[in-house]
Structure 1
């Protein structure tokens, strides 16, 4: 099943279930679990819908604690480059994801600063960027347009993980 959401630009974002399920494997259900994260990767359909069907998982060099995740640039960029080439140059950077050790995740001030920094960069392009936080009970998705300061919650779903 695909999660269908409407972006702030009025486009439909299709988030593949297998992407969510793979992220849910990093849900912080135990006190010793550290935050995890990576980048979101997808492509645009001819009809204008956006398809989020790939992501990167935590990589060597990422800094992970119980309440912080800092993504190392190089290994995630290398994976994105491979996905870009393997897709015939159609899959691209869609945004960021990470986990929080709380049931219904809310972006921290650090998250919001980081997201706004990404939105100012060329990587945001015309589709804006998407941000996913996996909480222990709810997974939430935000969207913002390039250069925008407002990051808008566009949807959520129950976090489903296997212990």
Structure 2
């Protein structure tokens, strides 16, 4: 997965600001011709988000408005790709709730993304480790969720 370095810095700043509580948001961009997700914009948790130690609830209405603005400004080229959140002092691996959430996003018709991504940051104020997960389907009639781990590749505007 490619991510704009400015968006990545915003995400890191939000993770540090919220620590030791969880935070997160939305990833917006496009799918490249080779199938790689390209994140151009980050949407934060929103002003009415609720942050606790091991979970956070985003300000969903605010995030949807921001996503609509980005979609309109890009003439429909920039779309919802998935979500991001933090696991303070934890691991960047997916919890059972993360997997269930990712499957729910893939099945939600309004998300319009069959293979959503979930980026998880783990760490603390000084050091964060990020891992990108992409939903790839269900196995055994939905009893097991298949997830791919993607390489994270930041890019700057000079790389475009």
Scaled by the length of structure 1, what TM-score is found?
A: 0.75
For 1:25, the equivalent position in structure 2 comes to 13
Separation in 1, partners of 2:14, 2:47: 15
What are the Cα deviations for residues 24-61 of structure 1, in whole angstroms up to 9, with x where unaligned? 1133599x631111111002446655321101112122
Which residue among 150, 157, 160 is the counterpart of 1:154? 150
Structure with greater strand share of residues: 2
Task: Return 81-90 or 58-67, whichever deviates more.
Answer: 58-67
How far has the Cα of 1:67 moved from its partner?
A: 1.2
**Within-5 A mapping of 1:5-154:** 13-27=1-15, 33-45=20-32, 49-102=36-89, 104-122=91-109, 123-126=111-114, 128-136=115-123, 137-145=128-136, 149-154=145-150
Asked if structure 2 preserves the Cα contact closer than 8 Å seen for 1:134 and 1:140, the reply is yes
Aligned CA distance change for structure 1 residues 86 and 53 (closer, same or farther; 3 Å): same
Q: Count how many residue pairs are aligned between Structure 1 and Structure 2.
A: 143
- Structure 2 unmatched ranges of 5 or more: 140-144, 154-160
Asked if structure 2 preserves the Cα contact closer than 8 Å seen for 1:143 and 1:151, the reply is yes
Separation in 2, partners of 1:46, 1:110: 31
Structure with greater helix share of residues: 2
- Structure 1 unmatched ranges of 5 or more: 1-12, 158-163
Task: Return 46-55 or 94-103, whichever deviates more.
Answer: 46-55
